[in-house]
Amino acid sequence: MKRAGLILALCIALGGCDQFMDAQPKYDEYKPAPLFRNGRVLQEPVAGTVARGDLQATERPALTPELLARGREQFDIFCSPCHDRTGHGNGMVVQRGMPNPPSYHSERLRAADDQHFFDVITNGHGVMYSFASRVAPADRWAIVAYIRALQLSQHAALGDVPAEEREPLAAPPQ
């Protein structure tokens, strides 16, 4: 009796060895759904649906002193460890052995559009990882505005300053 049970179990196990998991019936998510006429699960989002996740459609805020102050604060927290506080790419992390990030003052990055910086903060680039989960989209735009202010501060000419504020800057130090 014991031997017959063992032989039966062995036959069942061997019979199951010829079946492949990809040959069995299952739902294929890439095929049209037969439940709906158009083959889709939903035609349009349900009214009142709130989008989840990070939306790229976040609009750039107006440039204000408050935005630049927020950008500086966020830059100092998230960016300066690698890019340093002036944006030259020699932060404390770099001084301890990490590769240098590009300087914000290079011609390539001065010519890049604002969306490039926003996308790099969002998705990461090279050895820089994504900050999408750490920095809100509005704060990313604030950081972009501050990066532009850093770039202007390093490449400004006296002619860029309004005439009424130029004289104190042009006067030699006393």
User: Domain locations in the chain?
Assistant: 65-157
CATH fold of 65-157: Cytochrome Bc1 Complex; Chain D, domain 2 (1.10.760)
Distance of CA 143 to the CA centre of its chain: 13
What is the reported pLDDT for 13? 72
| Residue range 47-87, pLDDT digits in tens | 776 666 545 556 889 999 999 999 999 999 999 999 999 99
Question: CA-to-CA distance for 116 and 86, rounded, in angstroms?
Answer: 19
At 139, the amino acid letter reads D
Q: How far is Cα 92 from Cα 83, in angstroms, rounded to an integer?
A: 9
> For residue 155, what are the CA distances in angstroms to 68, 81, 141, 150?
18, 23, 21, 9
Give pLDDT tens digits for 33-50. Answer: 666 666 665 556 667 766
**Which tokens in the block code for residue 31?**
């095929």
Q: What is the pTM of this model?
A: 0.63
